[in-house]
Amino acid sequence: MQKGHCLCGSVQYEFDETQVGFGLHCHCKDCQRVTGSGKATVIMFPQDAVTISGEYKTYGSIGFEGSHVNRGFCPNCGSQMFTFVDEIPGQMFIKAGGMEDTSWLSVGMTCWTSTARHWLPADSDTVCFEMNPPA
């Protein structure tokens, strides 16, 4: 099991890293805005592999292809941690930056290279997609 938490520590989570689906870097404009940076690095897990303690809030928005994206964050310190997509039931994404140990993690995919900023270019060692990966 692995752990993570927000900046202030009021939202904590544990997850079974052996249940990892895949990890990706996303350079879309929404991820840039919520992270305040050039990309988000998110890891997909089945929801039942993750235990969250503490109250987080979600902010819902419509993704670029009409999907319903709910981003979970700490209402106290604002740290972005989770993403739930209505169209991907039973799964969730965790932002890698809040995890304590990521030595087990490899990230093999990059999405939205078309909106990558010149100061944080897409990682060409990963499989790259100009927008979302094909379904």
- Give contact residues for Zn ion (rule: CB under 5 A): 6, 8, 10, 26, 28, 31, 74, 76-77
Q: Which is nearer to Zn ion, 31 or 52 (CB)?
A: 31
Q: What is the DSSP letter of 17?
A: G
Which lies closer to Zn ion via its Cβ, residue 77 or residue 131? 77
Residue with tokens 């929404």: 30
Minimum Å distance from CB 18 to Zn ion?
26
Phi, psi of 103 (to 5 degrees): -65, -25
User: How remote is the C-alpha of 37 from its chain's centroid?
Assistant: 13
Residue type at position 65: E
Within the chain, residue ranges assigned H as helices are 29-35
Cβ distance to Zn ion smaller for residue 48 or 62 = 62
Least distance from Zn ion to the Cβ atom of residue 11, Å: 5
Rounded CA separation 54/129 (Å): 35
**Smallest distance from Zn ion to CB 58, Å:** 14
User: Judged by CB, which is closer to Zn ion: 2, or 71?
Assistant: 71
What are phi and psi for residue 114, nearest 5 degrees?
-65, -20
Least distance to Zn ion from the beta carbon of 46, Å? 20
